[in-house]
Chains A and B, each alone.
Chain A
Amino acid sequence: ETGVTQTPRHLVMGMTNKKSLKCEQHLGHNAMYWYKQSAKKPLELMFVYSLEERVENNSVPSRFSPECPNSSHLFLHLHTLQPEDSALYLCASSRSSGGGSTEAFFGQGTRLTVV
């Protein structure tokens, strides 16, 4: 139990569906992150929120839409995905300050399959 909870754990969706991934942290952190983990690739940082503002969007296609309504919750809204978007999506949180020495805490991930 890392203090970061992701739901659902598994999701199968068609290419025309709309779904959302949810992340919640109980650690009092003020930065949250979405990562994509694909086989044989480094983890890809998708979005960063600090103090509820999006501070980074790493050239992610618009079919992925993040939302951070408060410092404890982070969503990833999905629509018209492609089969190559199938992956494990990991949420993480950290303190936004710390000069780089602060570690991130990860959720268990959502295994997404696009059919």
Chain B
Amino acid sequence: GNSVTQMEGPVTLSEEAFLTINCTYTATGYPSLFWYVQYPGEGLQLLLKATKADDKGSNKGFEATYRKETTSFHLEKGSVQVSDSAVYFCALNYGGATNKLIFGTGTLLAVQP
């Protein structure tokens, strides 16, 4: 079946450090891939997405590249800030009539000043 696996957190970094959060997926066909972010006390917000192989999604300094050969969609940022502290969710959408999202378990990122 379709599934998403994320690296377990928490990830603790100092401000301006480089961030990688790994995400791999299992899917039939060619899903779209997403990263959502959840700040404390809030719902999920779309961070970036990629809809086909080799696409790179980017937003707010975050990037992720859709790698079909390794079934991965790792999230990266060159220099994190304290305000990036949140839970990050990788997700896939294999389409159909209802656009269902399948999420990973989420990775908590804590950035210290």
Contact = CB atoms under 8 A, between A and B. Distances in A.
Contacts of B82: none
A55 B98 CA distance: 8
Interface string A89-115: 010101111111111111111000000
Nearest to B3: A42
A108 B42 contact: yes
A11 interface: no
Interface residues of A, number: 32
Contacts of A41: 105
A48 B100 contact: yes
B32 interface: yes
- Among B96, B101, B104, B105, chain A packs the most CB atoms within 10 A around the CB of B101
B44 interface: yes
A104 B43 contact: no
From DSSP, what is the main secondary structure of chain A's interface residues? loop
A105 B47 CA distance: 11
A106 B34 CA distance: 14
Contact of B4 (A42, A48, A105): A42
Nearest to A90: B43
Interface in A37-56: 40-43, 45, 48, 50, 55-56
A104 B99 contact: yes
Nearest to B101: A104
Interface in A48-71: 48, 50, 55-56
Contacts of A108: 41-43
Interface of B: 4, 31-32, 34, 36, 41-46, 49, 51, 89, 93-106
29 contacts: A2-B45, A4-B43, A33-B100, A42-B4, A42-B102, A42-B105, A43-B89, A45-B100, A45-B101, A45-B102, A48-B98, A48-B100, A55-B98, A56-B98, A56-B100, A92-B44, A94-B99, A95-B99, A96-B97, A97-B97, A100-B93, A103-B34, A103-B46, A103-B49, A104-B46, A104-B99, A104-B101, A108-B41, A109-B42
